[in-house]
Amino acid sequence: MENYNPTDRTRVRRLPKRAAYDKQKVHSILDEGFLCHVGFVADGQPYVIPTLYARGGDRIYIHGSAASRMLRTLDEGVDVCLTVTLVDGFVLARSAFHHSMNYRSVVVLGKARLVTDSAEKMEAMHRFTNHMVPGRWEEVRQPTEQELKATSVLALELHEVSAKIRTGSPLDDEEDYSLPVWAGVVPVRTTLGEPLPDERVLPAVKVFDVHRLANRH
Amino acid sequence: MENYNPTDRTRVRRLPKRAAYDKQKVHSILDEGFLCHVGFVADGQPYVIPTLYARGGDRIYIHGSAASRMLRTLDEGVDVCLTVTLVDGFVLARSAFHHSMNYRSVVVLGKARLVTDSAEKMEAMHRFTNHMVPGRWEEVRQPTEQELKATSVLALELHEVSAKIRTGSPLDDEEDYSLPVWAGVVPVRTTLGEPLPDERVLPAVKVFDVHRLANRH
């Protein structure tokens, strides 16, 4: 299985047994998530902005519009950290100290590059749209030249990447197992509700099938 | 209603009508969430680390252990950006361009301070535990002096704070409303699964009531 090479900056030091560098695992986390938190520095101050993203091979596209402050600092690329976290459960131990969370996270370090080429921007928007809802791009109106101009897109190569994963039961101190306290995992899931059409959907249009999003979760 | 004063760094510039600065709204987002993404700078590189947090009044406590790299840079406080994002829905428009997300997010800027006082550390762990599960602190073994020493806690004052909120239907271009495309919102929710006890829960212990977490979601 192919791996990302950990660097001094991406090697997981704390609890290294939770670390993963293999591409398949990293990609599966990135493909299941849809929200990332992008960190960048402006005037010495770190900022962390939530935004949508999509992956294409070893590249991530992010909506730059959510980070206009970042774009102002962008010249030949801006140093960013892009983090995606999927929460899988609350881990309830017998002691306060051992409470934890089951999760899968990916951290990507690198220089984000402003996408200026129209065709690549179109490609990125295609991926954003179909990452949210598979097949959506093919049924909606696609971007005009003007809309492409109005959209800021950043590209970030998957090169310096690590994943961190915690699974399973709490790990209590041996003597605490005799305590009469419930301990285990409460699963946390991202679920979808009943689709709510807006007021102007045409009468002939079929109800949106929420199962179309099941493939992505 | 009391407000946080927006500064040059926290005033929402893009889509300012989505901004909120009132304390009640900010606190309700922070109290509903449980995972934050903390950004900090080390050797010029931004890092974004997911970690648990809890609020006490106008102060946020975070588990510093998740960011040992940050702690190494900590002296008289480290500049951080703490972001909490709650996703409420996928917003499906009739054009790719107007696809969006309903969300509520809070961004806090400030200097995080390492908590060294034992009593304050205990207070923070109390809040972490009961923020995850109301009443949990009172039923588990509380931290020993040694565990307190082994726990890194950071405190961040809520001072430079802003919230950003998107709600409601997609906003399509007028001419696109005639397209035969379903449009609206697919709600996204965080839900809890059936609690899974670990293998060593004592027979007399009652099944964990997942509704105890309902108050927090």
pLDDT digits (tens, 9 = 90+) for B96-122: 999 999 999 999 999 999 998 999 999
Spatial separation of the C-alpha atoms in residues B37 and A133, rounded to whole Å: 25
CB pairs under 8 A between A and B: 294
In a domain, A2, yes or no: no
| Chain B interface, best mutation among A78, A97, A201, by max B CB count within 10 A | A97
d(CA B46, CA A39): 6
In a domain, A206, yes or no: no
* B201, part of any domain: yes
Nearest-CB residue to B81 (from A48, A82, A96): A48
Taking CA–CA distances from A15, the nearest residue in chain B reads B66
Residue B96: its chain A contacts at CB < 8 A?
125-126, 128-129, 136-137, 140-143
Interface test with B, best of A29, A182, A205 (most B CBs within 10 A): A182
B84 is written with which tokens? 């909490």
Q: Would you say residue A217 has pLDDT above 50? A: no
Least confident of A24-28, A60-64, A164-168: A60-64
Test A180 with B142 for CB contact under 8 angstroms: no
The label of the residue with tokens 């806090």 reads B108
Confidence grade of residue A67 (pLDDT, cut at 50, 70, 90)? low
Three-class secondary structure assignment of chain A: CCECCCCCCCCCCCCHHHEECEHHHHHHHHHHCCEEEEEEEECCEEEEEEEEEEEECCEEEEEHHHHHHHHHCCCCCEEEEEEEEEEEEEEECCEHHHCEEEEEEEEEEEEEEECCCHHHHHHHHHHHHHHHCCCCCCCCECCCHHHHHHCCEEEEECCEEEEEEECCCCCCCHHHHHCCCCCEEEEEEEEECCCEECCCCCCCCCCCCHHHHHHHC
- Beta strands A100-114 and A160-166 are antiparallel
pLDDT computed for residue B66 by the predictor: 62
Would you say residue B9 lies in a domain? no
Whether A182 sits inside 8 A of B81 (CB atoms) is no
As a whole number of angstroms, the distance between CA A37 and CA B87 comes to 13
When the pLDDT of each residue in chain A is averaged and rounded to a whole number, the result is 92
Tokens of A130: 């179909």
* Contacts for B214 with CB less than 8 Å, ≥ 6 apart: none
Among A126, A209, A190, residue whose Cα is nearest residue B184: A209
CA distances from A12 to A51, B67, B73, B152 (A): 25, 11, 17, 18
**Within-domain flag for B1:** no
Its pTM surpasses 0.80: yes
CB A65 within 8 A of CB B14: yes
CATH code of the domain covering residue A175: 2.30.110.10
The alpha carbon of residue A2 is apart from the nearest alpha carbon of chain B, in Å, by 25
Residue A214 lies in a domain: no
Number of domains within chain B: 1
Inter-chain touch B96–A177, beta carbons under 8 Å:
no
User: HEC profile for B78-100?
Assistant: EEEEEEEEEEEEEEECCEHHHCE
Instruction: Give every CB contact of residue B138 below 8 A, 6+ residues apart in sequence.
Output: none
Tokens of B42: 């080390």
| Residue A195 belongs to a domain | no
Residue with tokens 């379903």, as numbered in its chain: B182
Task: Indicate the residue of B14, B89, B180 with minimum beta-carbon distance to A68.
Answer: B14
For position B204, what pLDDT does the model report?
Answer: 93
Q: Which of A198, A201, A208 to mutate to test the interface with B (most CBs of B within 10 A)?
A: A198
Instruction: Confirm whether A164 is domain-assigned.
Output: yes
Buried b (16+ CB within 10 A) or exposed e, B169-197: bbebeeebeebebbbbbbbbebebeebee
Q: What is the ipTM of this complex?
A: 0.94
pLDDT tens track, chain B, 217 positions: 689 988 888 888 878 888 889 999 999 999 999 999 999 998 889 999 999 999 999 999 998 776 666 766 665 688 999 999 999 999 999 999 999 999 999 999 999 999 989 999 999 999 999 999 999 999 999 999 999 998 899 999 999 999 999 999 999 999 999 999 999 999 999 999 999 999 999 999 999 999 888 766 4
Name which of B40, B45, B81 is nearest A9 (Cβ-Cβ).
B45
- Under a CB-based contact definition with an 8 Å cutoff, are residues B201 and A184 in contact? yes
> Which residue in B has a C-alpha nearest to residue A178's C-alpha?
B202
Domain that holds residue A174: 16-189
Segment A119-131 shows an average pLDDT of 96
